[in-house]
């Protein structure tokens, strides 16, 4: 283990002259060492400053120069943010990699690591094959920006998340660089950032099909473009686990995959547990992969048994829904109607949970609003790992309809827990790029995968398949309340049963090479959710934090989701940054009203300096619903 040197702020000039800001953790050694980079818009000076030292500091203690970069137009970097994963962002990262290879303390080998945004761009940059990039770690990321991100799922709008995420990014993007760090040019840099602020809500709602816009940055378009070794990390409670298993199955480059129980966080601090010592796993991966001997294999956490397994072999087994349940032998067919939902989805939790409170709850209330098929009790313990698949015929009385599937484990007391979910806008049944209306009253064949499952069913438990026509507030409801029927004579549920595996152990978190940044907590966070009928209100006040350099940061937000005459979402965010004699306030408000044929979208961004408004932008527009 090495002693660590830390440089809190360095500037890296990229090809067009823009200076990107970075923090560097470096081992105290005269030897040339490999370098690692993480690139996100979440502000090295305050946003992620508390937790960055845990991973980056540890990696430096293991002999890596580890760099945390603020993307263009964020934090203390110059330039303006243009969009998520814009070509300019990827070009900037390539320039940083080239810069690293020329540093006197770097041996010419560079690795990328990141979670969420940083995991996305690690994959995307790897597909560009920049000289010097030797290995990557990608956690909670996606290979498909349309099919598996926070905007759309199954070809329909993620209602509770798209607008919320858009206002989150607007508030982040509107924050200024720190004058104490970047100097007297801070105001000029900030104004340029504000003037170029993207209209995220309108941008994403204008692209309702899987168009070239979404194909950009989706490495599933060409997995073979990635040639460097890849460590893929996913969580069963996270929104991006499907991408982790797809990457595992499709990457031709050497790769290792770890899928744990977690939500949207690094494995050494995520919920639900158990956690693992990921800083050590990460260091071991880079040491081996940069030496040309990357370890391979896939390790799963088996929910229910609380065991880690690898060398998993599965065999698909078919289950057949019928009026009297779910069996292993096809029975006589029956046409059944899916109940029209009034509240299905109330037990779903958040789309992308990172806290215990955001996880799905017991599923009984949602089961009561579904068409349900339940198996007999299992006679022996049975494990499932992989993608369940449903093959069926449906008919609807409207051209736009959606199908929500859930798989649940039901214990001897009748308690139902969520195992997997599937969402499909039936107009996208054949193509996410070229939707087609449902032919009214005609039987239509559909086939879709459920989310990744890695679950142990014990003897006495039962498997339950649930079908519904909505999942509020996670998913935008279809207009006109369609009626949907299924034909059980033509339904098959394929389940990936584990036929053999090897149990393994993963170390729990240990003390690492650097502590979390020590800050002063002036007030604790506070969150409340209030649900009444078709109205859900979420309020959040973030912790007020004073950082070592004197910057004080506070935030609050309010989300309102309503389903009465028409689905409506409102999202409000306020953020403040202050030093003695200097205070910045950012306010973002957006509202989305979903009429049957169009989205009515409005947004407003305001920035104030010492109580004076110095920037204001309003946007009001109607966007046609595209078979959605």
The CATH number of whichever domain residue 355 belongs to comes to 2.60.120.260
Cβ–Cβ < 8 Å for 264, 117: no
Cβ–Cβ < 8 Å for 198, 62: no
Same domain, 192 and 226: no
Domain span at residue 342? 312-504
Closest CA to 202 of 161, 152, 166: 166
**CA within 13 Å, CB half, 580:** 2
As to burial, measured by CB atoms within 10 angstroms (0-12 exposed, 13-18 middle, 19+ buried), residue 445 is exposed
**pTM (two decimals):** 0.96
Predicted local confidence at residue 596, as pLDDT: 95
Residue 275 lies in a domain: yes
Same domain, 39 and 119: yes
Same domain, 258 and 337: no
Same domain, 412 and 552: no
What CA–CA distance (Å, rounded) separates 204 from 210? 11
Look at residues 481, 504, 527 and tell me which one is the last residue of a structural domain: 504
Structural domain count, the chain? 3
As to burial, measured by CB atoms within 10 angstroms (0-12 exposed, 13-18 middle, 19+ buried), residue 107 is middle
Classified as helix, coil or strand, 456 is strand
Residue 463 lies in a domain: yes
Q: Looking at the DSSP assignment, which residues form a beta bridge with residue 593?
A: 568, 600
Residue 509 lies in a domain: no
What CA–CA distance (Å, rounded) separates 106 from 295? 24
Return the beta strands (E) in 224-362 as ranges.
230-235, 255-260, 297-302, 307-322, 325-327, 335-337
Same domain, 145 and 160: no
Cβ–Cβ < 8 Å for 66, 103: no
Closest CA to 201 of 154, 150, 256: 150
Cβ–Cβ < 8 Å for 257, 230: no
Handedness of CA 60, 64, 65, 71 (dihedral sign): negative
Q: β-pairing, 535-541 with 526-532?
A: antiparallel
Same domain, 406 and 525: no
Cβ–Cβ < 8 Å for 422, 448: yes
Look at residues 480, 504, 528 and tell me which one is the last residue of a structural domain: 504
Same domain, 130 and 275: yes
Q: β-pairing, 230-235 with 255-260?
A: parallel
Cβ–Cβ < 8 Å for 100, 67: yes
Cβ–Cβ < 8 Å for 591, 618: no
Residue 512 lies in a domain: no
Residue 234 lies in a domain: yes
Mean pLDDT per segment of 10 residues, for the chain of length 628 residues?
Answer: 94 97 97 98 95 95 97 97 96 98 98 98 98 98 97 97 96 96 96 96 97 98 98 97 98 98 94 94 98 97 95 97 91 92 91 90 96 97 98 98 98 97 98 98 97 97 98 94 95 98 89 76 95 93 95 97 93 97 97 97 98 97 97
Residue 301 lies in a domain: no
Phi and psi at 104, nearest 5°, equal -65, -20
26-42 burial, b if ≥16 CB within 10 A, otherwise e?
bbeeeeebbbbbbbbbb
pLDDT single digits (tens) 393-432: 999 999 999 999 999 999 999 999 999 999 999 999 999 9
pLDDT single digits (tens) 143-189: 999 999 999 999 999 999 999 999 999 999 999 999 999 999 999 99
CA 313 to each of CA 95, 247, 259, 299, 456: distance values in angstroms, whole numbers, following the listed order: 42, 18, 16, 12, 15
What CA–CA distance (Å, rounded) separates 318 from 14? 55
Same domain, 327 and 453: yes
CATH of the domain at 67: 3.40.50.1820
Residue 317 lies in a domain: yes
Predicted local confidence at residue 482, as pLDDT: 94
Cβ–Cβ < 8 Å for 486, 577: no
Classified as helix, coil or strand, 154 is coil
Residues present in the chain in total:
628
What CA–CA distance (Å, rounded) separates 248 from 237? 18
Look at residues 479, 504, 529 and tell me which one is the last residue of a structural domain: 504
Same domain, 194 and 335: no
Same domain, 598 and 467: no
Predicted local confidence at residue 514, as pLDDT: 64
Same domain, 285 and 381: no
Closest CA to 166 of 122, 211, 209, 197: 197
What CA–CA distance (Å, rounded) separates 429 from 437? 10
Cβ–Cβ < 8 Å for 514, 66: no
Same domain, 137 and 32: yes
Residue 304 lies in a domain: no
Closest CA to 198 of 405, 41, 317: 41
CA 68 to each of CA 24, 59, 64, 65, 94: distance values in angstroms, whole numbers, following the listed order: 7, 12, 13, 10, 14
């Amino acid at each position: 283990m090495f002693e660590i040197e830390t440089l809190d702020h360095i500037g890296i000039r990229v090809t067009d002259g823009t200076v990107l800001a970075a923090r560097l953790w470096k081992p105290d050694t005269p030897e040339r060492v490999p370098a690692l980079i993480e690139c996100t818009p979440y502000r090295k000076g305050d946003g992620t400053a508390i937790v960055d030292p845990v991973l980056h500091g540890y990696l430096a203690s293991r002999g890596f120069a580890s760099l945390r970069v603020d993307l263009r137009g964020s934090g203390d970097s110059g330039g303006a943010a243009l969009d998520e994963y814009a070509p300019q962002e990827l070009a900037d990262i390539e320039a940083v990699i080239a810069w690293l290879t020329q540093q006197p303390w770097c041996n010419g080998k560079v690795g990328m690591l990141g979670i969420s945004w940083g995991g996305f761009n690690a994959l995307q940059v790897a597909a560009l094959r920049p000289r010097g990039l030797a290995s990557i770690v990608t956690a909670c990321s996606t290979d498909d920006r349309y099919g598996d991100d926070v905007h759309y799922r199954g070809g329909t709008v993620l209602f509770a998340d798209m607008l919320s995420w858009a206002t989150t990014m607007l508030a982040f993007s509107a924050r200024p660089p720190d004058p104490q760090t970047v100097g007297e040019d801070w105001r000029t840099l900030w104004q340029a950032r504000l003037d170029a602020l993207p209209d995220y809500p309108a941008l994403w709602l204008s692209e309702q099909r899987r168009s070239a816009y979404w194909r950009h940055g989706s490495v599933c378009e060409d997995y073979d473009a990635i040639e460097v070794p890849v460590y893929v990390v996913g969580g069963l409670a996270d929104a991006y686990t499907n991408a982790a298993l797809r990457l595992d199955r499709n990457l031709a480059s050497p790769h290792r995959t770890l899928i744990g129980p977690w939500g949207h966080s690094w494995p050494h601090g995520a919920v639900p547990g158990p956690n693992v010592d990921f800083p050590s796993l990460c260091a071991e991966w880079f040491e081996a992969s940069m030496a040309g001997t990357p370890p391979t294999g896939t390790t799963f956490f088996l929910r229910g048994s609380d065991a880690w397994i690898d060398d998993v072999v599965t065999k698909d087994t078919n289950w057949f829904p019928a009026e009297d349940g779910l069996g292993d032998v096809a029975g006589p067919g029956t046409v059944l109607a899916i109940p029209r939902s009034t509240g299905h989805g109330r037990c779903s939790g958040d789309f992308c949970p990172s806290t215990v409170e955001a996880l799905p709850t017991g599923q009984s209330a949602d089961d009561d609003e579904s068409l349900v098929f339940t198996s007999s009790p299992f006679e022996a313990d049975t494990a499932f790992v992989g993608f369940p698949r449903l093959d069926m015929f449906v008919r609807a009385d409207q051209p736009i309809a959606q199908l929500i599937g859930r798989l649940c484990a039901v214990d001897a007391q009748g308690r139902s827990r969520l195992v997997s979910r599937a969402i499909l806008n039936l107009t996208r049944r054949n193509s996410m790029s070229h939707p087609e209306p449902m032919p009214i009253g005609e039987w239509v064949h559909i086939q879709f995968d459920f989310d990744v499952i890695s679950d142990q069913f014990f003897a006495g438990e039962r498997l339950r398949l649930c079908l519904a026509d909505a999942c509020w507030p996670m998913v935008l409801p279809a207009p006109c309340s369609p009626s949907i029927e299924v034909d059980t004579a033509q339904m098959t549920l394929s389940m990936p049963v584990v036929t053999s595996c090897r149990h393994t152990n993963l170390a729990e978190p240990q003390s690492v090479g650097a502590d979390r940044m020590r800050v002063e907590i002036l007030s604790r966070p506070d969150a409340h959710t209030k649900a009444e009928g078709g109205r859900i209100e979420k309020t959040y006040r973030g912790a007020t934090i004073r950082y070592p350099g004197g910057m004080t940061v506070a935030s609050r937000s309010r989300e309102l989701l309503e389903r009465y005459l028409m689905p409506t979402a409102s999202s409000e965010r306020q953020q403040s940054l202050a030093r003695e004699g200097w205070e910045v306030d950012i306010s973002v408000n957006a509202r989305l009203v979903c009429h049957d044929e169009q989205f009515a979208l409005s947004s407003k961004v305001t920035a104030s300096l010492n109580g004076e408004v110095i920037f204001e932008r309003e946007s009001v527009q109607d966007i046609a619903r595209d078979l959605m």
